[in-house]
Structure 1
Amino acid sequence: DAGRLGLTGLCLPRDVGGGGLGALDTALCLEAFGRGCADTGLAFAVAAHLLACAVPVRDFGSRKARDELLAALAAGELIAANAMTEDGAGSDVSAMLTTARRSGSGFVLDGEKSWASNAPVADVVVTYAVTDPEAGFLGVSAFALPSGLPGVRLGAPLPKLGLAGCLAGRVRFEDCPVPEEYLLGDEGQGSAVFQHSMAWERACLFAIYLGMMRRQLRLVVEHASHRRQFGRRIGDFQGVSHKIVEMRRRLESAQLLLYRACWLLDEARNHVAASALSKIAVSEAAVANSTDAVQILGASGYLSGGVGDQLRDSIPSTLFSGTSEIQRELIAKDLGL
């Protein structure tokens, strides 16, 4: 149970039952989780719950929201979903159509989110809505609300290619009344809240893929050491051994970039480009290494389970938390281009 192991509260405060860890130590724990857990989808679900949902409650939640939600999120007693993406607003978050209008002492939400990890089983939904259409970046607000509020509709699990252990679905808000205490930060601060949560997610979440790749590399080396063809171990053929060396190079290069991004986040230094570099390196290494692992294992690598599942679980890593193309735009901007 991830909650009993403390994984659902790694970087949450100790006074609510969390581990009180910084970004780097959180990443190291998630890396170990990814290495030891055969279900990468489960590890992803836990990381998304913690980094995209519990972290903004930790840092922007009202006292009442923190008292109501944070300890249960840390213990894994409440499951959180991050509902940001819409059908027409993925990388272009400025195209968001979900609205939150003032009503009495709170807000009324209307709209639909199209891709929310953990949504079908969520007890808490962290979501974003336009509160001032004329204000652009400053016209979006963030909320952490119980899924049991009137007007919240959680959709069925989407039939995904991979990450089966993390159920994802749509979330609809229909005249949903949201009390003021579930607002994260101030009204109009939603874009900043989202960027903050993404900083933690981009820096730390991808450590689960480092763990997966470490487990994968061990499996491939073992296979290449024992599988024989033409009277020799296949690891004796340069076509195989050099491919495995390249898998290690990708893994360890990505690992160092991720550790640096987390350290910069812990030190409150500029981490945007470092996190983008890390995110690209880890996600693209996971896809490339998984493809190589399937090739080396041959027919057995194409079976469900093992490296076949790892390949399916790796493919979406270049999409979520900002596509590889968006990360390259952030890096180009950092270079002054």
Structure 2
Amino acid sequence: MTSGTTEAPTVEDLVEGVTRWCAAFSAGHLERDARARFPHEQWAQVCRSDLLRLPFDPDRGGLGRDLVTTMRVLEALGRGCRDGGLSFSVCTSMVSVGVPVQRFGTDAQRARYLTGICSGELIGAHAITEPDGGSDALAMRTTGRRDGDDFILNGGKAFVTNGPVADVIVVYARTHPDGGPLGTTAFLVDRDTPGLVVGPPIAKMGLRTSPFSELSLEDCRVPADRVLGRVGSGFLVLDHVLKWEVLCSFAISLGEMRHRLARCVEYAGRRAQFGRPIGEYQAVSHQIVELKVGAETTAKWLYDTAAKVLRGEPVTTDLAITKLVAGEANLASAMTAVRLFGGNGYTTEFGLEKDLRDAVAGTIYSGTSEIQRNRVAAMLGVGR
């Protein structure tokens, strides 16, 4: 992704650089999806592309780029890479471990983890959701009890993206009996820590090349120097992660939406029915217009919200609306593409039914669409 000169690469250079890699990232994606297999070979290519280095400090091997630039490059990834699971795993490793370690980690933690996340030698995951908790993170039951120089973690987590392949997992646990926003702590837990049991990959609807699993913690002893941030600051860490997670993951979705729009425009121009290209029928052309509107609305919310984040402005409402708009628009885009392609769209060969299965996830992870509506309602002073 570097320009090969002594000058720092521009955003355009970085976008062009990742675009050149996308054919290699995409190779064999339909077969991997059918087998629900993590793409180890493509992950190695991601590492060589320097994509994972984007937002991190140069002294730890990063490229030192800001949030908006990172999003621009991830949008290009979404537009060019047809393996949505690979893109999702890339974003998860970068955001769930690298971003909070850079923001909240000690020098020792940055030395131990950040360089590996940048290079891709370490794959990261985070574990917040619990089997009975869903979106209610305040109700977590996983506990962390101080014992000398260690913490003892007990509990279980669900839907841990990258769990089966992760080398380090940020685990959130209740460290105060009452829990709550000031009673939760984030821990950096290595894969080989005794007491950490990572379950097998769970079969799922979409994003199949990005494995997730449950994990259990049974008297899992974690050194106190692996606390990420301060004891009791877990939700501060999580809030920072979620801003990056929503903006970066849906920047990828935006790229996918733009790719889908281009496919539909091309298909509508060459597919003829009743003696005319289907794009000449208003029923079809209006659907394509809606794809354009959805993509541009998503882009507006994503990049305007990111700019506010960089300025340090409050974004609680903006982030909820962004996540709601982007998740629902991506799902509608995928459904429209399948319908426009008709029987071809329903087959696995064209990859559009995979897009649809992948897009459903965006209305669920990082807080469901219903949760986002609740957050906006609360900020307006209505609802509960």
Q: Report TM bin, short chain.
A: over 0.9
Matched, 1:178 2:222: yes
Output the amino acid matched with 1:55: V
CA contact (8 A) 1:138 1:191 kept: yes
Equivalent residue runs for 1:295-310 within 5 Å: 295-304=339-348, 305-310=350-355
TM-score (norm 2): 0.86
CA contact (8 A) 1:51 1:205 kept: no
Q: Distance in 1 between matches of 2:255 and 2:279?
A: 23
Matched, 1:311 2:311: no
Pick aligned residue for 2:172 from 105, 115, 128: 128
Q: Which runs of 4+ in 1 moved over 3 A?
A: none
Q: 3-12 or 70-79: which moved more?
A: 3-12
CA contact (8 A) 1:62 1:183 kept: no
User: Which stretches in structure 2 are left out of the alignment for 5+ residues?
Assistant: 1-44
Pick aligned residue for 2:59 from 3, 8, 15: 15
Which residue in the other structure is 2:11 paired with? none
Which residue in the other structure is 2:160 paired with? 116
CA contact (8 A) 1:109 1:178 kept: yes
Equivalent residue runs for 1:188-203 within 5 Å: 188-203=232-247
Pick aligned residue for 1:279 from 323, 327, 343: 323
Which residue in the other structure is 1:327 paired with? 372
- Offset, 1:328: 1.5
CA contact (8 A) 2:138 2:179 kept: no
Q: Distance in 2 between matches of 1:335 and 1:26?
A: 31
Highest RCO, 1 vs 2 (Cα 8 Å, sep ≥ 6)? 1
Output the amino acid matched with 2:125: A
Output the amino acid matched with 2:85: G
**Aligned pairs, number:** 337
- Offset, 1:135: 4.8
Q: Distance in 2 between matches of 1:107 and 1:165?
A: 33
Matched, 1:167 2:211: yes
Measured against aligned partners, the alpha-carbon deviations of 1:198-237 in whole angstroms (never above 9, x if no partner) come to: 1111222211100111111111111110011111101111
Q: Distance in 1 between matches of 2:163 and 2:179?
A: 29
Equivalent residue runs for 1:1-337 within 5 Å: 1-304=45-348, 305-337=350-382
Measured against aligned partners, the alpha-carbon deviations of 1:45-88 in whole angstroms (never above 9, x if no partner) come to: 11111112211111111221111110001111100111111011
Output the amino acid matched with 2:369: S
SS in 1 for 2:182: helix
Q: Distance in 1 between matches of 2:148 and 2:85?
A: 41
Cα RMSD of the aligned pairs, angstroms, is 1.1
SS in 1 for 2:65: coil
- Offset, 1:336: 3.3
CA contact (8 A) 2:60 2:110 kept: no
- Offset, 1:250: 0.8
Measured against aligned partners, the alpha-carbon deviations of 1:144-197 in whole angstroms (never above 9, x if no partner) come to: 121111111111111010001211111111111101111011111111111111
Q: Distance in 1 between matches of 2:180 and 2:222?
A: 22
Output the amino acid matched with 1:320: Y
